[in-house]
């Protein structure tokens, strides 16, 4: 797992960071690292009207053909946030996995009209559903041959022990990975 110090070092050296996460706990850890790294760079990026955002990518390793391993790669880089409004309508993460496509469609539609939207959720499972919805919305954008992807800013991240208790992600369009 990538530490905050390692993420900051890679960001300073390359201008971007990619964290590979296998499993739900690793994705949660990646979101916490993204939030802390974002906070550490806030004063540096604020005058540029930028913030550190993340964009997930789903990778598949076929080393074992019967049980392929899925890796969620969280890309982090500074993006322009000048289009982000201060007042955003909040959407709530769904309670079950069957509604992830609905959330992805709603977020994509809201971005087209308002430029940004916030999705909030409580508990471990809702944070993973938000990342899955972001992945699905990006798939929709790629199918439409968009030149931008959906990037997320961790606006609220509350942790109890090693578990996320609540999370709010502000979504806006940013560059391709």
Q: What is the pLDDT of residues 45-66, one digit of tens each?
A: 889 899 999 999 999 876 667 7
* Domain range summary for the chain, segments of one domain joined by +: 4-174
Confidence of residue 159 (pLDDT cuts 50, 70, 90): confident
13, pLDDT greater than 90: no
pLDDT of residue 55: 96
Quick one: average pLDDT of 146-156?
A: 89
Average pLDDT over residues 75-100: 84
User: Which residues, 6+ apart, have CB-to-CB distance to 22 below 8 Å?
Assistant: 69, 70, 71, 72
- When pLDDT is cut at 50, 70 and 90, the band that residue 85 belongs to is low
If one counts every other C-beta atom within 10 angstroms of the C-beta of residue 123, the result is: 15
Round to whole Å and give the CA distance between 38 and 72.
Answer: 19
Q: By the 8 A CB rule, do 89 and 61 touch? A: no
36 or 67, greater pLDDT: 36
Average pLDDT over residues 158-177: 84
Computed over every residue of the chain, the mean pLDDT equals 87
Q: Rg of the Cα trace of the chain?
A: 15
Q: Which residue has the higher pLDDT, 137 or 155?
A: 137
Checking if the pLDDT of 1 tops 60, the result is no
Residue-level pLDDT at 54: 96
Q: What is the model's pLDDT at position 86?
A: 66
Structurally, at CATH architecture level, domain 4-174 sits in 2-Layer Sandwich (3.30)
pLDDT tens digits along 89-130: 889 988 788 889 999 999 999 988 888 899 998 877 888 899
- Residue 154 makes CB contacts below 8 A (sequence gap 6+) with 31, 34, 35, 38, 54, 167, 168, 169
């Amino acid at each position: 797992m990538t530490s905050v110090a390692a993420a900051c070092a890679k960001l300073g050296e390359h201008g971007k960071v990619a964290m590979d996460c296998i499993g739900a706990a690793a994705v949660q850890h990646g979101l916490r690292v993204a939030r802390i790294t974002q906070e550490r760079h806030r004063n540096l990026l604020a005058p540029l009207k930028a913030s550190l955002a993340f964009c997930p990518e789903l990778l598949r390793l076929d080393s074992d053909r019967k049980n392929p391993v899925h890796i969620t790669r969280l890309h982090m880089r500074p993006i322009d946030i000048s289009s982000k409004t201060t007042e955003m309508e909040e959407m709530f993460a769904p309670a079950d996995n069957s509604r992830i496509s609905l959330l992805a469609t709603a977020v994509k539609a809201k971005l087209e009209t308002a430029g940004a939207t916030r999705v909030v959720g409580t508990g471990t499972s809702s944070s993973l559903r938000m990342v899955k919805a972001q992945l699905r919305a990006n798939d929709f954008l790629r199918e439409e041959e968009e030149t931008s992807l959906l990037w997320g800013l961790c606006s609220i991240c509350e942790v109890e022990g090693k578990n996320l208790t609540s999370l709010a992600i502000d979504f806006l369009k940013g560059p391709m990975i």
